Amino acid sequence: MYIGWDWVTKTHDVTVMDNTGARVARWEFAHTENSIARTLDKLAKHGSPAGLPVAIETTRGLIVDRLLQAGHPVVPVHPNAFHAMRPRWGASKAKTDAGDSLKLADYLRTDGHFLPRLEPTEQATMEIQALTRRRADHVTARIAAVNQLAALLVTHWPGGKAVFSSLDSDSALAFLQQYPTEASAAKLTAGRLEAWCKHRGYSGRKPGSVLIERLRSAPTPASRLSETVIEQLVRVQVQLMRSIRTTIRTLDEAIANAVETHPCATLFATMPRIGKINLGQIIGGTGPILERSKNSERFIAETGVVPMTRASGKSRVVTFRYAANRRARLAVVSYADNSRHGSDWAAKIYNNARANRKRHPHAARIPARCWLRVVWACRCTGTCYDAEIHRASNKTKQGLDTPLAG
């Protein structure tokens, strides 16, 4: 039996098809708990869930999770690929919910052996993935809040923007909270500002005379807003930034705790210059790919650190791989860029790529591909990474000790 599931926001359409291509059953139901539960019970009457694969045009969501929980093999079908197959069932390319569920079931019957199936991700990996993705969203919100505050200061208080750019983040927010407008900072002197910075634990090297000069030399804004309104705008924005920074610190602690209990964390924690957050990002991003990949080449390709070759006739083009897990690629490439500062092996690979006129993003993806092979080997053998027994790293170390020819 083969099942086609036409997934919609409010209603769904399901078709059950046998090996001959005949429709065995078909029904439509609303997106409610009772309807979904009854649908799963109906499907169970046609056989064991493990023997009833389901074709659906999505890879995630509530329906996919419920199907995996029930034991059904889920076969995701890309909407573009499914649309390209429509001429198989008629030249008109007609589209209805009932017709789509039938076509999905038939597509699964004829070409299902070519399509990959979703595998349930380990709970520990899913939890780290959710935490790291939420942290990435909050980091994006923090960057947006900083840009909004900078734009507000440029328009209404350029002097405050100059001091804000000179101090560290904690001191800058405390300065704007205490001196949100030009009038509130009018009585500041170099000595007072330096004493204030010392009291706040300012870690920079700029003395109070430099900071006060930047504050006083900034142009005077021609703002038509009152001091009260500007003060409210600045303090509200500072409060927003502090709140976002608090949530990021909370997520950092949660990620660190989740990484400590993950079974793969000990395998990768010994890799050079890898921190708790980056380790969580790598596990959350590459973990699901690592669990379902059959070989290292597929694992590396789905992560998106290898180019894609298009060859037809006399033309052959090697291009950037866009169809990949963007978050996993970003986590791995970020680590690879950091690792070259702590690993001679990674530094040599990166420097050779730069010597071959590769741009930095391309050169960083090359050691990232090498590190993914290390991750694959550690995962398959259950062995922690050790630079002393890494043969490629040892060759690099031997090469550094070998004197150069005259």
What pLDDT is recorded for position 403?
38
Under DSSP, is residue 98 helix (H, G, I), strand (E, B) or coil? helix
| In contact, 159 and 215? CB cutoff 8 Å | yes
User: Rounded to an integer, what distance in angstroms lies between the CA atom of residue 227 and that of residue 248?
Assistant: 32
Residues 6 or more apart whose CB falls under 8 angstroms from that of 301 comprise 321, 324
What pLDDT is recorded for position 149?
93
pLDDT along the chain (406 residues), means of 10: 87 90 89 91 89 88 88 89 84 78 90 85 89 95 94 90 88 90 88 87 82 88 86 94 95 94 88 91 90 87 88 85 88 93 91 93 93 91 84 59 38
Q: Does domain 2-114 have CATH number 3.30.420.40?
A: yes
What pLDDT is recorded for position 331?
93
What pLDDT is recorded for position 96?
83
What pLDDT is recorded for position 90?
79
pTM: 0.81
What pLDDT is recorded for position 405?
38
Q: Which is nearest to 344 in space by CA: 332, 354, 352, 355?
A: 352
Could you tell me which CATH number the domain at 126-255 has?
1.10.287.4070
Q: What are phi and psi of 213, to 5 degrees?
A: -65, -40
What pLDDT is recorded for position 393?
65
CATH 1.10.287.4070 domain span(s) along the chain: 126-255
CA distances from 160 to 25, 147, 183, 186, 270 (A): 69, 14, 11, 11, 44
Query: What token pair was written down for 230?
Result: 């500007």
CA distances from 305 to 178, 180, 291, 336, 370 (A): 47, 46, 18, 11, 10
What pLDDT is recorded for position 139?
95
Pairing of strands 74-76, 308-312: unpaired
